[in-house]
Amino acid sequence: MEKKIIKFRDFLVPLVLSGEKDSTWRLFDDKELRVGDEVDLINWNTKEKFADAALIEVREKELGQLEPEDFDGHEKFESEEAMYESYRTYYGDGVTPQTIVKIIRFKLQ
C-alpha cells in the first residue's frame, strides 16, 4: 500500500519542523486519513518530502463550529473571514461555515 501524504505550503514547513505547528486541517479529505497512519510530509511548492509523521488524532466538525482549542498547534487567522478566504483559495468557493473540516494532529518521527 502506498504511503499517504500531506502537503504543506512552503511558508508552513519551518513551523512544522520546529514543532510549532503539529495540527493541520483538511477539507474534502479523499485520503481517508486516520489515527495511526504514517504519512510523508511534502512541501507543496517544491514537491519534496521534508518529514515523516504519525497521525495521533483525527476528528471532524463544521468550520462554523470551531472552538479556540481547535486552533492549538495550527496557524491562526486574523479573522473568521480571513480563514474562509484562505480555504477558498485552496478548495474553491464552496467553502462555508457548514463545510466539514478534518482536524489532524500529528507527531514528527
Encode pLDDT of 52-85 as tens digits: 999 999 999 999 999 999 999 999 999 999 999 9
The overall pTM is greater than 0.85: yes
Residue 28 pLDDT > 80: yes
Residue ranges covered by each domain of the chain = 4-108
| 2: confidence class by pLDDT, cuts 50, 70, 90 | confident
- With 0-12 / 13-18 / 19 or more C-beta atoms within 10 angstroms meaning exposed / middle / buried, residue 16 is buried
Fold of the 4-108 domain? Sulfate adenylyltransferase (3.10.400)
Q: Which residues pair with 61 in a beta bridge?
A: 101
For 86, phi then psi, to 5°, come to: -60, -50
To the nearest whole percent, how much of the chain has pLDDT over 90? 95
DSSP lists the bridge partners of residue 24 as 104
